[in-house]
Chains A and B, each alone.
Chain A
Amino acid sequence: MSAANQTTLTASQLARQHWLGVLAKVPAEQLQQQWAALDLTPDYQLIRPPEIGLTMVRARVGGSGQPFNMAEMTITRCAIRLTSGTLGVSYVAGRDKRKALTVALADALLQEDTDQQLQQQLVVPLEASLQAAADARAADASQTKVDFFTLVRGEDE
């Protein structure tokens, strides 16, 4: 998404974008554990039962070149409606229907989460663990970091 598009989003849309990103990226096992610990059993109706499909991933060379079709990836999507009427949606990578359903339920509940309680119990810890995993990986990679430099060879003089 380009920067121009993002400026038109409202604060609540940005917040939703953020938690959907965290929930989609977190490993399924960890999400289910955290979700089960909360012991939430909302009543809901399936608007679009979890379904698996393909989507085309587009990319730009160097982040600014012409967009090109990079590859297709498998995604699972789902939409549910709580009895209160709030719609929750999810798009997650892979073929895990249970994860798609959990994310959709969490999305709906997070929209109703006016006191930020669920945000604190679910999204914040998961985001912290995502960040920790990213940091660990970066630290791991930095051990083998090589700095390239060129000695002055005096040719330009």
Chain B
Amino acid sequence: MSVSSELLVAGFNDAVHDGQQVFRALLTAMSEPGKLQQPNLIAEGPGALNANSWQVALALLDADTPVWLSERLAADAAISSNLRFHCQSPQVDSPQHAAFALCDASDVPDITLLNMGSAEQPDRSTTLIVQVPAISNEPHWTLTGPGIATERQLRIGGLSSTFVEQLIASRQRFPMGIDCIFCSADTLVAVPRSTQIDINMGGR
């Protein structure tokens, strides 16, 4: 597949420093699950991808990270062209072979199809980046686990119940599992595999 030049959008203005700031925010998000981060370093994303997901992709993806796009995102030529141009990431057809999977909340993959790593090398797993409509600290999920002193509240909009069930069920396979990064228009939050999720029925 080729790059369509008319669909290209801008990358980071300052690739090194902007990339570092987004990476720093992601590091904080991963080490303190449920803590909201807002590193807004970029104005617009390509096609259906919002600016926040785009900056995460710019910071994390490169020629050594095979990326899998969900069906809806893969159909958007702007997204695949820009990923090719700015990140040089190989795009794979099967999420099993991807280091990163990029999807929209309306279009999440079956988690069991993603690469969970192996018992010897759990770090080889796929990291899932999900673009969602809304993220807040309203009580809906109660998160506990490493990086959280007591507990933290998190509400992520737009996720299907099947996906959430699969995500919770995947905790049984620790240390194998999937680390998730959720990106709304301006906020990102991470839920790594070590975080336990309890759904508050009362909080709905």
**B residues whose Cβ falls under 8 Å from a Cβ of A:** 5-6, 8-11, 13-15, 85-86
Over the window 7-29 of chain A, the binary record of Cβ atoms lying under 8 Å from chain B Cβ atoms (1 yes, 0 no) is 00000000000000000000000
B8 x A45 contact (CB < 8 A): no
- Chain A residue, CB-CB nearest to B15: A51
Given known contacts A85-B6, A87-B5, is B86 in contact with A48 (CB within 8 Å)? yes
**Of residues 110 to 141 in A, which have CB atoms within 8 Å of B's CB atoms?**
none
Other-chain contact of B11, A48, A85, A87 (Cβ < 8 Å): A48
Total contacting residues, chain A, CB less than 8 A: 11
**From residue B42, how far is it (CB to closest CB) to chain A in Å?**
12
- B60 CB → nearest A CB, Å: 18
A87 near B9 with CB under 8 A, answer: no
Whether a CB of chain B sits under 8 angstroms from the CB of A95 is no
Chain B residues within 8 Å of A81, by CB: 8, 10
A interface residue numbers (CB < 8 A to B) = 45-49, 51, 79, 81, 85, 87, 89
Q: Across the A-B interface, how many residue pairs have beta carbons closer than 8 Å?
A: 25
What would be 22 A-B contacts, judged by CB atoms less than 8 Å apart?
A: A45-B10, A46-B10, A46-B13, A47-B9, A47-B10, A47-B11, A48-B10, A48-B11, A49-B11, A49-B13, A49-B14, A49-B15, A51-B15, A79-B8, A79-B85, A81-B8, A81-B10, A85-B6, A87-B5, A87-B6, A87-B8, A89-B5
Please, which residue of chain B has its CB at the minimum distance from the CB of A87? B5
Bound-complex Cα distance A45 to B15 (A)? 15
Bound Cα distance from A85 to B9, whole angstroms:
11
Measured between alpha carbons, how far is A49 from B154 in the docked complex, in Å? Answer: 37
10 closest pairs, A vs B, by CB? A87-B5, A47-B10, A47-B8, A48-B11, A45-B10, A46-B10, A87-B8, A49-B13, A85-B6, A51-B15
Contacts of A49 in B (CB 8 A): 11, 13-15
- In the complex the two chains form, what is the Cα distance from A46 to B13 in whole Å? 8
Minimum C-beta distance from B103 to chain A (A): 25
Q: Which residues of B contact A85 (CB under 8 A)?
A: 6
Query: Which residues from B are CB-within-8-Å of A87?
Result: 5-6, 8
CA distance A113 to B5 in the complex (A): 18
Across the two chains, which residue of chain A brings its CB closest to B86?
Answer: A48
Specify the chain A residue showing the minimal Cβ separation from B8: A47
Min C-beta distance of A13 to chain B, whole Å? 12
User: Which B residues are CB-close (under 8 A) to A89?
Assistant: 5
B25: shortest Cβ distance to chain A, in Å?
21
What A residues does B15 contact at CB under 8 A?
Answer: 49, 51
On chain A, the residues within 8 Å of B14 by CB distance are 49
Residue ID in chain A nearest B82 by CB atoms: A47
